[in-house]
Chains A and B, each alone.
Chain A
Amino acid sequence: MTHQAPAIGCCGPVDTDAPLAVTINPEARVNVARSGAPIGTLKPGEWHTLAVTVVNDGFVTGPLAVEAEPVSGLQLDLPVHELTGEHRQDAAFRVRLDAPTVVDVTLTFRALGALGGLANHSTVNLLLSARE
Chain B
Amino acid sequence: MSEPPVQPLFASAARAVRKLQDLGDPLPADVVTQLSKLESSSLSDAERRTQLGTLLRPFVLLDVSIDEQGIASCAPGAAPPRLVQHGWRSFLVQVANPHRIEANLTAGNSGVYGVIDYLSHSARIALHDTLTVVPRIKDAWLDAKIAGPSELSGVEAEYKVISLYARDGGIKQGGLSLFAADEHNHHSLSRSPLQLAGFRTNFELREYAASFDFDCATAREIRLDIREPDGRSCMAAITVRDGQGRSYPSKAMRLAPDMFFHEHVYRATGEMIRLPEGQYQVTAIRGPEYRPVLLEANVDAGTEAIPITLDRWVDPASRGYYSGDPHIHAGGCSHYNVPSEGVTPETMIRHVRGEGLWLGSVLTWAPCYYHQKQFFSGESISPPAELEDPAMQAAQGMTWTPQPTDRDAESALRYDVEVSGFPSSHSGHLILLGLTDQDYPGTSLIEDWPSWNLPVLRWAKEQNALVGYAHCGVGLGVGTEELPNYIVPSFQGIGSNEIVVDVPLGAADFQCGGQFAPAAELNIWYHLLSVGFRTLMLGETDYPCMYDEGPGVGRTYVRLDEPPSGPQAIEAWTTGLRESASYFGDGRSHVFDLAVDGDVGREHRLDSPGPVRVSATVAAWLPEEPPPPPAGRPAYSAPVGWHLERSRIGTSRSVLVEAVLNGVAVASQELVADGTEQEVGFDVPVEESSWLALRILRSVHTQPIFLEVGGRPIRASRRSAQWLHDSVDQLWTVKSGFIRDDERAAARQAYDEAQAVYRSRREECETD
Contact = CB atoms under 8 A, between A and B. Distances in A.
Interface string A99-114: 0011110100000111
Contacts of B639: 116
B543 to A, nearest CB: 10
B637 interface: yes
B171 interface: no
Contacts of A29: 333-334, 545
Nearest to A30: B334
Most buried by B among A26, A57, A102: A26
Contacts of A115: 474, 516, 638
B686 interface: no
B8 A7 contact: no
B494 A5 contact: no
Contact of B494 (A60, A117, A121): A60
A83 B738 CA distance: 14
B375 interface: no
A125 B15 contact: yes
B7 A59 contact: no
A5 B120 contact: yes
A68 interface: no
Interface stretch (B148-156, B205-213, B622-630): B148-156
B517 A26 contact: no
Given A26-B366, A112-B492, A114-B516, A1 B117 contact: no
B441 interface: no
A85 to B, nearest CB: 6
A114 B640 contact: yes
B322 interface: no
B126 interface: yes
Contacts of A85: 426, 734, 737-738
A3 B115 contact: yes
B153 A61 contact: no
B339 A9 contact: yes
A83 B493 CA distance: 11
B367 A11 contact: yes
B421 A57 contact: yes
Contacts of B544: 118
Given A5-B126, A28-B474, A59 B545 contact: no
Nearest to B520: A114
B634 interface: yes
Interface stretch (B105-113, B301-309, B603-611, B760-768): B105-113
Contacts, number: 176
Contacts of B109: 1
B367 A9 contact: yes
Interface in B642-692: none
Contacts of A8: 338-340
A118 B494 contact: no
A116 B629 CA distance: 15
B194 interface: yes
Contact of B493 (A7, A58, A117): A58
B145 A2 contact: yes
Contacts of A72: 7
Contacts of B135: none
A15 B15 CA distance: 27
Interface in B106-155: 106, 108-109, 113-120, 126-127, 145, 149, 151, 153-155
B548 interface: yes
Given A1-B194, A58-B493, A59-B738, A118 B366 contact: no
A83 B655 CA distance: 40
B144 to A, nearest CB: 11
Contacts of B516: 114-115
Given A3-B115, A117-B546, A125 B149 contact: yes
A2 B517 CA distance: 42
A27 B542 contact: yes
Contacts of B108: 1
B601 interface: no
Contacts of A106: 11
Nearest to B491: A61
A104 B638 CA distance: 28
A34 B103 CA distance: 12
Interface string A30-49: 01001010100000000000
Contacts of B637: 116-117
B492 A60 contact: yes
B477 A7 contact: no
A118 B547 contact: yes
A35 to B, nearest CB: 11
A34 B12 CA distance: 16
Contact of B545 (A2, A61, A118): A118
A56 B634 CA distance: 25
Given A3-B113, A59-B425, A26 B365 contact: yes
A104 B339 CA distance: 32
A26 to B, nearest CB: 3
Kindly name the residue among A5, A101, A103, A121 whose own CB sees the greatest number of chain B CB atoms within 10 A.
Answer: A5
B8 A27 contact: no
Interface in A111-132: 112-118, 120-121, 125, 127, 129
A58 to B, nearest CB: 6
Contact of A58 (B106, B477, B494): B494
23 contacts: A2-B116, A2-B117, A7-B337, A7-B338, A8-B340, A26-B366, A27-B494, A28-B475, A59-B494, A61-B491, A61-B492, A62-B490, A72-B7, A102-B155, A104-B12, A104-B153, A104-B155, A114-B473, A115-B638, A117-B641, A118-B544, A125-B15, A125-B153
Identify the 5 closest CB pairs spanning chains A and B, nearest first: A59-B426, A26-B421, A62-B492, A116-B638, A104-B11
Interface of A: 1-5, 7-11, 25-29, 31, 34, 36, 38, 57-62, 71-72, 83, 85, 101-104, 106, 112-118, 120-121, 125, 127, 129
Given A11-B337, A102-B7, A117-B637, 19 more contacts: A1-B113, A3-B116, A5-B119, A7-B337, A8-B339, A10-B339, A11-B339, A11-B367, A26-B365, A26-B421, A31-B334, A62-B475, A104-B11, A104-B12, A112-B475, A114-B516, A117-B641, A125-B149, A127-B154
